[in-house]
Amino acid sequence: MTKKLIQLADFSTTAPEDLKEKDIKAETEELVERIGDLQQRMYAERKHSVIVVLQGMDGSGKDGAVHDVFDACRITGLSLTAFKKPTEEEFAHDFLWRIHKVVPQKGTLAIFNRSHYEDILVQWVHGWIDDTKRDQRMQAINAFETMLEQDNQTHIFKFYMHISLEEQEKQLRQRMEDPKKFWKHNPGDWEERKLWTKYMEAYEYAINNSVIPWYICPVDNRWYRNYFIAKTLATELEQLHMKMPPLPK
């Protein structure tokens, strides 16, 4: 049977209508605390590591998700990497070089704000690589992620931050109007917005060709974004059955 391809237009960017924001926020607080507890167990046990990928268009709330979902995690055993335009040194290496440098050791939960997928998203959208190079890099990414999971017990959870075109405009305008957000404003974000359709095509390609599946996270309602990520991670981390080590004899 042919696998049905995911089309992002089929997925809502907003919270389900039957949910009550107040109730969901209360449950999210409990989930955030649970993630903090599970992260502490992972650090103490040193059998697993985790990579959380937050990938999405400008304004999709990656920074906010990091702050809100991982608030109860301890700095020890936690790492955060924000991937921006590659440096001259990084350009001189293969595209996965800068990623492998920050892959977490056992016991660590690593958050990737953007990720290795930038090299098949941005570069393909702008025509800096062709379809053949994109396909080659996708194969390399799949091999890389599979190796991490199978060889080092590194569990990878990838979230596509699914924002609507209308909500993105709202978020980008806030960066021009709210003094607290001036530092986030980048005129280039508006230029990238003009390529929205091409970016959606690129994201669909990445999602449909990944061996390790993606979670499509609606982000127009920030409270539901936090709940979706926290609920998913808490559920997945529970499946690792991590325990605090016993008292050494």
Note whether residue 108 is domain-resident: yes
For 174, the token pair is: 């806030």
Note whether residue 243 is domain-resident: no
Ramachandran region, residue 137 (left: φ > 0; alpha: ψ -120 to 50; beta: rest): alpha
Whether 165 contacts 196, CB under 8 Å: yes
Note whether residue 5 is domain-resident: no
Whether 61 contacts 161, CB under 8 Å: yes
d(CA 117, CA 129): 13
Whether 168 contacts 57, CB under 8 Å: yes
pLDDT mean across residues, the chain: 95
Q: How far apart are the first and last CA of the chain?
A: 55
**3 state SS for 72-106:** CCCCCCEEEEECCCCCHHHHCCCCCHHHHCCCCCC
pLDDT at 178: 87
For residue 109, give the 3-state DSSP assignment.
Answer: strand
pLDDT in tens, 188-223: 899 999 999 999 999 999 999 999 999 999 999 999
Convert 179-196 to b/e letters by CB count within 10 Å (16 or more is b): eeeeebbeeebeebbeee
pLDDT at 1: 52
pLDDT at 4: 83
DSSP structural state of residue 183: G
d(CA 241, CA 234): 12
State which residues form the domain around 147.
19-238
pLDDT at 249: 79
Note whether residue 88 is domain-resident: yes
d(CA 167, CA 109): 30
Note whether residue 11 is domain-resident: no
Note whether residue 154 is domain-resident: yes
The number of beta carbons lying within 10 Å of the beta carbon of residue 131 is 9
pLDDT at 182: 86
Note whether residue 246 is domain-resident: no
Residue stretches of the chain with pLDDT short of 50: none
For 104, the token pair is: 């977490």
Q: Which residues contact 148 (CB under 8 A, 6 or more apart)?
A: 51, 103, 154, 156
Question: Based on the structure, what is the number of domains in the chain?
Answer: 1
Whether 14 contacts 220, CB under 8 Å: yes
pLDDT at 2: 60
Domain CATH number, residue 180: 3.40.50.300
Note whether residue 1 is domain-resident: no
